[in-house]
Structure 1
Amino acid sequence: MDMVIRALAIYLILMVVFKIAGRRTLLQMTSFDLILLLIISEATQQALLGNDFSVTGAMLTIVTLIVVDMLFGLIKKHLPGADDFLDNTPVILVESGYLFQEKMKKVDISCDDILQTARVDHGITQLAEIKFAILERNGHISIVPESK
């Protein structure tokens, strides 16, 4: 039972930490982010398993994490508003070339982030060429170009 409680606690704390960190952390990974991810995964592994390195303990931990994830999926499906709370909602950052500065500040996305995505995905170099830039739930910025 100890492993189930550990797995649940670690799952919840990581969910809270990444919720606080925001979607920007998912947008692009720097070398520092990779190092941090490796450290987090090692600390998480130690916290989940403790001194129990048995196959049974690992299987129990994995099953617990998958069941918790499935439960959150059911909660998001059946409780109105839970999906928005747990996974956020898409945020429109640019509309017809106009930047929504307050929204960008709130989600910690810069104009450079938007233009970089526009250049890479569509070859767009100016805000005026962007009809919509939307920060998606997964942290990716979707660009809808202006019609030509």
Structure 2
Amino acid sequence: MSDLFVLQTPLLELVLRAAVIYFFLLLVMRFIGRHEFGQLTPFDLILLLIISESISEAFTAGDTSLLAALVSASTLLGLSVLVSIGQYKSRRFRSIVSPEALKVIENGKVIERSLRRELMTRDELVERLRARGIGGIEEVRIAYIESDGDISALTYRETDRYRAAAAAEEDK
């Protein structure tokens, strides 16, 4: 019981291990592609579980003390806060950590280059639009894959409504 709070691994090593793993995973997730995060499939869930299991030992270097787990978890939470602050304060840091929105449809036409970049098929794009209540690509004036993998789209109907509302506002 007394070994629960006795570190078997040096504190600095625990912090360094957690930081290296955090930034490694952050970079890997950044380069995997946005659309992978938009929907979590059973395969993705299994992959996340396997990854977490495969790196768990690396976080604590075999140190089974409660304190080692708390140090690792605190390091990860602290890094998450620091990354959020960095994104808030620096546009350049934000562009490294979180990609800009990527235009995938313009004036009812798919931008194939953008789909290839994200390894997204036309069928996946259409499926994601349908999930948003949009019947087809031809209805979309402009659509983006956001940094979180979600699809945002403005249809011609919505654009017309915004124009009408703006015109009505000008008349007042």
Shared fold per TM-score greater than 0.5: yes
Shift of 1:85: 1.6
- For residues 6-85 of structure 1, what are the structure 2 equivalents within 5 Å? 6-85=17-96
Task: Work out which of the two has the higher radius of gyration on C-alpha atoms and give 1 or 2.
Answer: 2
Whole-angstrom CA distance in 2 between matches of 1:112 and 1:24: 13
* Residue in structure 1 matched with residue 136 of structure 2 by the alignment: 126
Shift of 1:103: 1.4
Q: Please, which runs of 5 or more residues in structure 2 have no aligned partner?
A: 1-11, 161-172
Whole-angstrom CA distance in 2 between matches of 1:134 and 1:22: 14
Shift of 1:28: 2.5
CA displacement, residues 66-113 of structure 1 (integer Å, 9 cap, x when unaligned): 111122122222223211121000111101211111111112222212
Whole-angstrom CA distance in 2 between matches of 1:116 and 1:135: 13
Partner AA of 2:145 in structure 1: L
Assess if the C-alpha contact under 8 Å between 1:114 and 1:133 holds in 2: no
Worse-matched range after superposition: 73-82 or 36-45: 73-82
SS across alignment from 2:69 = helix
- For residues 78-97 of structure 1, what are the structure 2 equivalents within 5 Å? 78-97=89-108
Whole-angstrom CA distance in 2 between matches of 1:110 and 1:132: 17
SS across alignment from 2:91 = coil
SS across alignment from 2:104 = strand
Whole-angstrom CA distance in 1 between matches of 2:73 and 2:89: 24
Q: Please, which runs of 5 or more residues in structure 1 have no aligned partner?
A: none
SS across alignment from 2:79 = helix
Moved segments of 4+, more than 3 Å: none
Shift of 1:2: 1.1
Q: How many residues align?
A: 147
Whole-angstrom CA distance in 1 between matches of 2:41 and 2:78: 31
* Residue in structure 2 matched with residue 98 of structure 1 by the alignment: 109
Assess if the C-alpha contact under 8 Å between 1:117 and 1:143 holds in 2: no
Whole-angstrom CA distance in 2 between matches of 1:33 and 1:78: 31
Worse-matched range after superposition: 21-30 or 31-40: 21-30
SS across alignment from 1:81 = helix
